[in-house]
Amino acid sequence: MTTGTSSLIVSGLDRHRLRDIATGSVTSIAVALVIVVVVGLSAIGPDFLSASNITIIGSFVAIPMLVAAFAGFALLAGVVDLSIGSMLGLSSNVCAWLMVAGWPLWAAIPVALVACLICGAINATAVVIFGADTIAATLGMLVALRGITFIISGSVGMIPAFDPNFFAFINLTAGPLPVIFLISLALIALAAIIVMRTRIGRHVQAVGGDDRAASRAGISVTGVRFVALLLSALGAGIGGVLYVGQLGSASNYTGTGLEFQVYAAMMIGGYSILRGGVGNPLGAALGLLVVAGTSNIIDVKAISPYLTNAIIGLLLLAAVLLDRLRGGDAFE
């Protein structure tokens, strides 16, 4: 196969796919968000979209959104990284530990990021070089890193590390929108542009969609997936550091359940954790907003907090069902 033919095939395939993504699941999740806004407005009134409420939702969603922007590449490439929560915990505890030991922020943060990148490299080696099943391998990393985080956070289980400048930065707002939310949104937009418009993005989708075809077309499946897992780790690392700023501390709990929060939202937004090649960072952002918006309605209306989990579970089912009915891939 000449490179000319293969690139024609790749671009032919992906033009169709681009149209699908832009008009498919992203649309339905956008509609879902509109529904959430409507429900919020009718249940709570115009206060639902008040400046302070938007700040609340924005602050809560900002860091998971950033993590999702990075982790989305791994999902697209067909290698789901379940360890992002534990990596985030590791990163925040390493950063907090160094801060307490007297390191300045600008020195502590890179160390935390490098720690995550090393774990990401281990994941990548196992999954890409050795061919380990990605769910199993990253699950193992999830467990191992949680243990290490417990060890770092010590017998009290937490490391208080309140830095007033960092805290002020995290809580900066531009109007009603927190600055970190805008930064995360910008990263999502950047990721979306990469996915939809650049050759790299097309390669990632090709690798996730059909790695054999991608390999025949000359794309380095190993390279793409390795980098994708490293990116996923980097995102978790950055998220962990930001949490130290937002929460003024790190603990053995930091990051627990984050993988569920992020991936459930991403599945609602059109990604699949079992199949690569589908999904759009915009869908991830919208998915996170749908879940956060729904939680906010539950919170502000003070509906029983014990029902929150049940409602999120129902939401997940509803979203995938909706996606299926709209014509998304069915499980047989």
Partner 1 sequence: MTDVATTTPETTLSRGAAFRANLPAGWGTAAVVAGAWVLLIIVSGIHRADFLSHQTVLAISFTMAIVGVLAVAQALVGISGGILDLSQPTGLIMSAAIVAWLLERNVPTAVVVVAGILVGAVWGFANATIVVVAKLNPIIVTLATNFIGGAVMFLVYQNAQAPLNSSFSAFGRGYFLGLPNIWWPMVILILVVGYFLPRTRYGRHMIAVGGNRFAAQTRGISLKKTRFAVFSIAGAITGGAGVLFACSNGPFAPTAGATFQLPVIASVILAGCSLAGGRGSIWLILLSVGFLSTVPTSLVFFGLNSNWQQVFQGMILIVAVSIDGWRARRLLK
Partner 2 sequence: MKMTVRRQLATIAPAVLALALAGVATQPAFAFKLGMAVGGEAASNWQKPQGDVAHAIATKMGWDYVELSNNLDPAVATKNADIFIQDKVDAVIQFNGRAEVNPVLAAKYAAAHIPVVTYDIAQKGFYFVGIDNLAAGIAGGEALGKIAKDKWNCDVDLVLSSEGAGAGIVNEWRTGGMRTGLQHICPDIPKDKYVSFEGSGQVSVAAPAARDVLAAHPDAKKILVVGLNDAGVLGAVQAAEQLGRADDIIAWGQDGAFITGDNVDPHLAGSVLYFLEGYAVYAIKDVIGPIAEGKAPPMKDDAGDPASRVKPCPVSAEQAKKIPGIEERVKQLLAAPAGTTEYDLFCPKS
Q: Rule CB under 8 A: which residues touch partner 2?
A: 19, 23-24, 27, 30-31, 34, 37-38, 41-47, 49-50, 52-53, 55-56, 59-60, 150, 153, 155-160, 162, 167, 243, 246-254, 256-257, 296, 299-300, 302, 304-306, 308
In angstroms, the Cα distances linking 82 to 21, 85, 223, 249 are 24, 7, 20, 24
Beta carbon nearer to partner 1, 62 or 312 = 312
Residue 113 and residue 238 in contact, taking contact as beta carbons nearer than 8 Å: yes
To partner 2, the closest distance from the beta carbon of 53 in angstroms equals 6
Residue 228 and residue 204 in contact, taking contact as beta carbons nearer than 8 Å: yes
Q: Which of 284, 278, 287 is nearest to 315 (CA)?
A: 287
Torsion angle of the four alpha carbons 87, 192, 318, 178, in this order, in degrees rounded to the nearest 10: 70
121: left (phi over 0), alpha (psi -120 to 50) or beta: alpha
167 exposure class (CB count in 10 Å sphere: 0-12, 13-18, 19+): middle
Beta carbon nearer to partner 1, 96 or 192 = 96
- Residues 57, 87, 141, 278: which binds partner 1 (CB under 8 A)? 141
Binding-site partner at residue 135 among partner 1, partner 2, none, CB < 5 to 8 Å by type? partner 1
Is 303 an interacting residue with respect to partner 1 (CB under 8 A)?
A: no
304 exposure class (CB count in 10 Å sphere: 0-12, 13-18, 19+): exposed
Q: Which of 310, 311, 276, 321 is nearest to 290 (CA)?
A: 311
To partner 2, the closest distance from the beta carbon of 119 in angstroms equals 22
What letter represents residue 306's amino acid? Y
Binding-site partner at residue 257 among partner 2, partner 1, none, CB < 5 to 8 Å by type? partner 2
- Residues 62, 77, 126, 191: which binds partner 1 (CB under 8 A)? 126
Residue 76 and residue 134 in contact, taking contact as beta carbons nearer than 8 Å: no
To partner 1, the closest distance from the beta carbon of 139 in angstroms equals 6
Is 197 an interacting residue with respect to partner 1 (CB under 8 A)?
A: no
Is 225 an interacting residue with respect to partner 1 (CB under 8 A)?
A: no
Residues that bind partner 1 (CB under 8 A): 122, 125-127, 130-133, 135-137, 139-148, 150-151, 210, 212, 260, 264, 267, 272-274, 304, 306-310, 312-314, 316-317, 320-321, 324, 330-332
